Chain A
């Protein structure tokens, strides 16, 4: 505005100077100076007038926005406030701040209020912002007062405010109007009719709106009105309204009505009937056919026919959208491009809708247009699709997209709030969202370390870069690595799609799922087969692995939601489908709910080489779904709602079946805590691994019951031809395939992870009996300090060093040791008569040093107390637990103090208990 004023002033000055200095300038210069001065003054005045008008419009837009805020219509307020000019406008920024507070976007509100602060022209304006920051947005009184106060800063006359209020009533459809009133508001008939169309769309009078728009376009076929007609058609069709010829006919004689649409529908119907007949013939022909080679082309034809029939039906239902395209085909403006995009969206051709916007953004029109706001908005959308940035779920982006999509109809409030606009906006936002990782690490094989093999999955182009070493950084534990990589090509992909069809999926979720799966099936590649499994209270295999797209599409279309949620059954059914399939095996597990999951089912799937990718939305157990994915080399994708399922499945489709194996040799092998890192473009993987610690899966036996056997009892059992039963306790015992005791094959009577009950013919010689476990893998583990055959001795208390050992049964094997065994061995140590510092129990075997003639006087019976000396070493095998009387006892503390190999170094002042290794002894 300043420049306009300057031009005006310069023009006037020049004209005056030209006259004043005419004698010095001469006639020709005086004339040209005056002419220039006048032209500049006129131009300046014209520019200024235009800018003043713009400023007035902007203030009025702010005012309308404030009125909408008073009515708590935040979306309408946003519509008007977006039309206000630049951010240097105090009132616009303050009003936007208030709007965002009401929307709950505190950060955006804060930014706008701070921007308003720097545009404030007085202390009063600055002070008022503090009020806006803290006012109660739930109080209509507060909002009303704030809006009124802000309106006061706009310098609009009371009369103009009144007119705008009335305009708002009409525009929002909350008030009927007459064309006379439009006149009073300064609106011509066209503007009035446009408002009326908007009001009709707002109230759901679709045919009436289209009719009015058609009449307007007939009377005044300007670009704006033709675009309005196309928009009305799009909005109606998006609501599922099938428009008829009568909607567009304004006359009384029905014979004069245009019959071309009816004729076109008739032709489409006839074409559809032909295709349906052919489809029926194919169904009959393929029923029961087993020849896969002949079946292939016929199935393909069925799919094609099904889609063509659907297309024809769509075309018939939405005939007028196609006609609308034709009606505006000659219009070459950005506004026309936007309307075409909206028409595509109404046809649910989302890709074409977005492509139209993007093409428009890159067009010469966009570069040359004086409407920089529209050009900028188009560029914003184009940038969103072009870049890798993933933070477009912001209010600013949403507002920018909505403003763009409604730009051709800046006078119609309804359009900004229409479902078509909202859904189109959401589609663009959802398109920016990334679902899952485009590069992830499925497995890290350290079996041949320092050779490391890494299996990567992801998008094809990224994996190609990995193979080509193009823009790749690869490191292992802070060192660059040199690697070789190969793509697993040509592998057939078997995919089992496991979906939740519980009751909570009923309605929009199941419809969205069908759409998503339909797209998934249509996009499956030729070396892929797909199976469909649904689960609710139990699982059902709906199709085997097949490449029959028609069958899959048909099955998908029959999905419905009902029943509970049993995710385990879904996993099990999927495993059953995939476990024998040749090629890669992938399960896509989708759920919107929670249930307990038996991880054994997941382990079984992993053991069968199945990768499970999990998809969750709604109230799912994220941690569990992530665990399932990680446990099988897959990834977990969290969707905000079922409407994102299409994007989720599409995203997974890009990574399934793409596998690269990368091999390298690690350095610095003395570093135990390590990691692998790889970055391609902006995608990276980072996996920590640790050397030197193997998973504790080896079986261990700690105790046997019975542990001590007398030769007499063994002999008796043999004579009676009886078997002896042993209860063995330990850990990791589920994988045991067979057991031997003392060289004799034992029968396994009961098997759990921590116990084995076996029976055996006790052909035992005296001495230790080795217990050997053979695993399913063939590996064996032996334990030779569990069972001892020998003559029993009975001792009450034994003392060695500071320790007193209470036991009931022992054996002297004759090798200079005394063996105590069983579950009742107690270790005690008393600091004083009052204080029992130590009381432990041992289940297993203790081996004490024993010398001939240990008894104190040589005559003491073995049942007496025995002192074995001040010092000595006791070894053993078993489990040591804490008793309640021990001074270290605490409620809830672990009861096991030591297990496996035991050593007790006894001394007079204090003894030490040392726990050795746990493995087979």
Chain B
């Protein structure tokens, strides 16, 4: 009897206990969900998932929320940048990473991500600078290799046209041609035979040329093996042979350099030679008749010059200038330079913040751009990767590969071309644009369309 009563009790408990358990489960589950809410970690995980699935829109929303929930999360910022890079909105990607990168203790992963973005958008100079930052903060071998890889890309930019004091050089199909005065042999030919030439003629260069540069009345060619050749004026011994010549002579002399040459610049009497390892060497006025290293600039990204001034951009973003009259004296021009061009009249700098400044060119801002009231710098509404002037005409390239032009006070016009721009640089009174199909064109102040070089 007792057993039956007990069994009856047991059976009657079940209809109570089961619903109670369900109720507790439901309440507990709901409380847990409310309690947990949305956390930064969960948003981060969701964002990563979206990234893996290439759902960039979802990733952007998730990472944005993660940042709101945890503003200090570097993973969220990096993820957000990667999401924007995935949509090819590199400008926003870059801005998202800036706070992690341009700081006293840059985040290694963020810097790496930024370097990738900069390489994608052709901002090789900045990419090299950031890689240098990784080197100075970690000294990891991998970053040396990365820097060298970027510098190789940077230095490979062609230079098919050069203007000197009274001569011009151009490369066509790897061969050098020259025109102008040949009083000192600067055309590469014998001055006794050719005193001057109004038209382009063969410069007698024996090899295949990759770059031509003129420094005063001395002409230089970097050939495809990285060797440096010179012709013309050598009064200061700037051809690095250990002597200065007195009478003019024709022909090309190889300059004895300690390594492959990336670029050459200088002012009358003084030569600067940038090697592919980033070291800068000098010879001539102020330094002697043999190449000596300019040790104050350990790693150099870019050099350029006009008749009066030479400029050096180092891997840590410092831009130095020196004038032709005092070649051994360098002064710091800017600490935040990402890239620059130097025409006969103006030094244009693109800062690490993406602004453009000039030492002598002042312009009303084109539509969409703004002018800084403090220093007159122009803030573009796009990412400018290179900018130069031909008189009052400005040409610039953008991160999405567009070539544009405007004149002071005028509107920006996009320049259509079939091929992608490889490099843009000023020479003499023009700006030269070289394309990846091997062609080159130039713009003058008054030319409304691009002109073929030769």
Count: A-B pairs, CB below 8 Å: 235
Q: How far is the CA of A444 from the CA of B383 in the complex (A)?
A: 41
Evaluate contact between B139 and A677: CB separation under 8 angstroms: yes
Give every chain A residue within 8 A of B204 (Cβ-Cβ).
Answer: none
B139 touches A679 (CB 8 A): yes
Asked if A32 contacts B19 (CB within 8 A), the reply is yes
Q: How far is the CA of A675 from the CA of B139 in the complex (A)?
A: 10
Q: Chain A residues near B12 (CB, 8 Å)?
A: 28
A103 nearest CB across to chain B (Å): 15
Complex formed: what's the CA distance from A31 to B14 in Å?
12
Residue contact A7 to B26, C-beta cutoff 8 Å: yes
Contact check, B64 vs A107: say whether CB atoms are below 8 A apart. no
In the complex, are the beta carbons of B293 and A673 less than 8 A apart?
A: yes
- Beta-carbon contact of A893 and B216 below 8 Å: yes
Q: Does B325 contact A (CB under 8 A)?
A: yes
Instruction: Please tell me if B37 contacts chain A, counting CB pairs below 8 Å.
Output: yes
Q: Do residues A690 and B293 form an inter-chain contact, with CB atoms below 8 A?
A: yes
Among B91-99, B121-129, B424-432, B442-450, the stretch in contact with A: B91-99
> Once bound together, how far apart are the Cα atoms of A107 and B12, in whole Å?
65
The stretch that binds A, out of B244-252, B346-354, B407-415, is B244-252
Are the C-beta atoms of A887 and B183 separated by less than 8 Å?
yes
Query: Is A3 a contact partner of B33 (Cβ separation < 8 A)?
Result: yes
Asked if residues A87 and B245 are in contact (CB atoms below 8 Å), the reply is no
Closest chain-B Cβ to A617's Cβ sits at a distance in Å of 16
Residues of chain B within 8 A (CB-CB) of A910 are 245-247, 249
Interface residues of A in 859-892 (CB under 8 A from B): 882, 886-888, 890, 892
Stretch at the interface among B100-108, B149-157, B387-395: B100-108
Residue of A36, A690, A915 near B22 (CB, 8 A) is A36
Interface residues of B in 137-158 (CB under 8 A from A): 137-139, 141, 144
Q: List residues 14-42 of chain B with CB under 8 A from any CB of chain A.
A: 15-16, 18-19, 22-23, 26-27, 30, 33-40
Interface centre among B64, B136, B237, B293 (most CB of A within 10 A): B64
CB neighbours of B326 from chain A (8 A): 894
Query: How far is it, in angstroms, between the C-alpha of A149 and the C-alpha of B102 when the chains are bound?
Result: 39
Q: How far is the CB of B77 from chain A (nearest CB, A)?
A: 8
Q: Is residue A24 within 8 Å, beta carbon to beta carbon, of the partner chain?
A: no
Is the pair A107, B247 in contact by a Cβ cutoff of 8 Å? no
Whether A893 lies near B65 (C-beta < 8 A) is no
Cβ of A86 within 8 Å of any chain B Cβ, yes or no, is yes
Are the CB atoms of A390 and B103 closer together than 8 Å?
yes
Q: Kindly provide the distance from the CB of B149 to the nearest chain A CB, expressed in whole angstroms.
A: 17
Q: Chain A interface: which of B283-291, B396-404, B433-441?
A: B283-291
**Closest-CB distance, B64 to chain A (whole angstroms):** 5
Q: Which one, A57-65, A263-271, A343-351, A829-837, is touching chain B?
A: A829-837
- Please give, as numbers and ranges, the residues of chain B lying within 8 Å of A110 by CB-CB distance: 92
Q: Provide the bound-state CA to CA distance between A423 and B107, in Å.
A: 29
Contact assessment for A894 and B269 in the assembled complex, using a CB-CB cutoff below 8 Å: yes
Are B298 and A688 touching (Cβ within 8 A)?
yes
Contacts of A112 in B (CB 8 A): 64
CA distance A115 to B83 in the complex (A): 12
Cβ–Cβ contact B236 & A897, under 8 A: yes
Contact flags (1/0) for A878-921 with B, using CB distance below 8 Å? 00001000111010111011100000010001111111000000
Contact B248 A115 (CB under 8 A): no
B74 at the A interface (CB under 8 A): yes
Complex contact B324–A914 (CB within 8 A): no
Q: Which residue of A lies closest to B324 (CB)?
A: A892
Closest partner residue, chain A, to B270 (CB atom):
A894
CB distance from A852 to the nearest CB of B (A): 28
* Chain B contacts for A397, CB-based, 8 A: 71-72
A118–B57 contact, CB under 8 A? Answer: yes
Residues of chain A within 8 A of B92, CB atoms compared:
107, 110-111
Q: Which stretch of A379-387, A596-604, A606-614, A640-648 is in the interface?
A: A379-387
- Point out the residues of chain B lying under 8 angstroms from A434, CB to CB: 104-105
Chain B contacts for A387, CB-based, 8 A = 72
The B-contacting residues of A in range 1-42, CB under 8 angstroms, are 3-4, 7, 28-29, 31-33, 35-36, 39-40
Interface of chain B residues 283 through 309 with chain A (CB within 8 A): 285-286, 288-289, 292-293, 295, 298, 307-308
Complex Cα distance A43/B96, Å? 44
Interface size of B in residues (CB-CB distance below 8 Å): 88
**Which residues of chain A are within 8 angstroms of B279 by Cβ–Cβ distance?**
673
Report if B70 contacts A (CB, 8 A): yes
Q: What residues of B have a CB within 8 angstroms of the CB of A29 in the complex?
A: 15
Q: Bound complex: CA of A118 vs CA of B30, how far in Å? A: 27
Give residues of chain A (394-408) contacting chain B, Cβ–Cβ below 8 Å: 394, 396-397, 400
Given contacts A29-B15, A40-B23, A890-B165, contact A119 B248 (CB under 8 A): no
**B211 vs chain A, min Cβ distance (A):** 23
The minimal Cβ–Cβ distance linking B299 to chain A, given in whole angstroms, is 9
A389 at the interface (CB under 8 A from B): yes
Give chain B residues whose Cβ lies under 8 Å from the Cβ of A835: 183
Contact A400 B184 (CB under 8 A): no
Pick the residue among B69, B71, B237 that contacts A915 (CB under 8 A): B237
Residues of B within 8 A of A911 (CB): 245-247
Query: What B residues does A688 contact at CB under 8 A?
Result: 298
Beta-carbon contact of B37 and A3 below 8 Å: no
Q: Is A682's CB within 8 Å of the partner chain B? A: yes
- Return B58 CB to nearest CB of chain A, in Å: 6
* A622 CA to B327 CA, complexed, in Å: 25
Q: Does B255 contact A (CB under 8 A)?
A: no
Q: Any chain B CB within 8 A of the CB of A488? A: no
B286 touches A894 (CB 8 A): yes
Known: A679-B139, A894-B285. A886 touches B61 (CB 8 A): no
| B267 at interface by CB-CB < 8 Å | yes
A473 close to B (CB within 8 Å) = yes
Q: Which of B18, B95, B288, B325 touches A107 (beta carbons < 8 Å)?
A: B95
Q: Is B361 an interface residue (CB 8 A)?
A: no
Contact of A87 among B39, B65, B80 (CB under 8 A): B65
Give the complex CA separation of A475 and B138 in angstroms: 10
A376 CA to B217 CA, complexed, in Å: 69
Chain B, range 40-68, C-beta contacts under 8 Å to A: 40, 57-58, 60-61, 64-65, 67-68
In the complex, which of the residues A394, A682, A693, A894 contacts B71, with contact meaning CB atoms closer than 8 Å?
A: A394
A372 on interface, CB distance cutoff 8 Å: yes
- Given the interface pairs A677-B139, A893-B325, the reply to whether A376 lies near B72 with Cβ below 8 Å is no
Asked whether A888 and B15 contact (CB < 8 A) given A107-B96, A390-B105, A679-B138, the answer is no
Is B332 interfacial (CB-CB < 8 Å)?
yes
Closest to A373 in B: B37
Is the CB–CB distance between A892 and B323 below 8 Å?
A: yes
Interface residues as binary, A199-236 with B (CB distance below 8 Å gives 1, 0 otherwise): 00000000000000000000000000000000000000
Q: Kindly state whether residue A684 has any CB partner on chain B within 8 Å.
A: yes
Answer whether residue A485 sits at the interface, using C-beta atoms and an 8 A cutoff: no
Are A118's CB and B61's CB within 8 A? yes
Distance between Cα atoms of A545 and B246 in the complex (Å):
65
- A370, B35: Cβ atoms under 8 Å? yes
**CB contact between B99 and one of A383, A394, A672, A893 (< 8 Å): that residue:** A394
Q: Which of B72, B104, B242, B269 has the most CB of A within 10 A?
A: B72
A-chain residues with CB within 8 Å of residue B244 when the two chains form the complex: 897-898, 912-915
Q: Is B223 an interface residue (CB 8 A)?
A: no
Q: List 8 A-B contacts (CB under 8 A).
A: A391-B103, A478-B139, A827-B246, A893-B325, A894-B270, A897-B236, A910-B245, A915-B289
Interchain residue pairs A-B with the least CB separation, the first 5: A893-B268, A36-B19, A397-B71, A372-B37, A690-B295
Given contacts A115-B60, A802-B247, A898-B237, 15 further A-B contacts (CB under 8 A): A32-B19, A36-B19, A47-B30, A117-B57, A384-B72, A390-B105, A396-B68, A478-B139, A688-B298, A837-B184, A837-B248, A887-B184, A894-B269, A894-B324, A910-B246
Q: Which residues of B contact A (CB under 8 A)?
A: 12, 15-16, 18-19, 22-23, 26-27, 30, 33-40, 57-58, 60-61, 64-65, 67-72, 74, 80, 92, 95-96, 99-100, 103-105, 107, 135-139, 141, 144, 165, 183-184, 191, 216-217, 233, 235-237, 242-249, 267-270, 279, 285-286, 288-289, 292-293, 295, 298, 307-308, 323-327, 332, 335
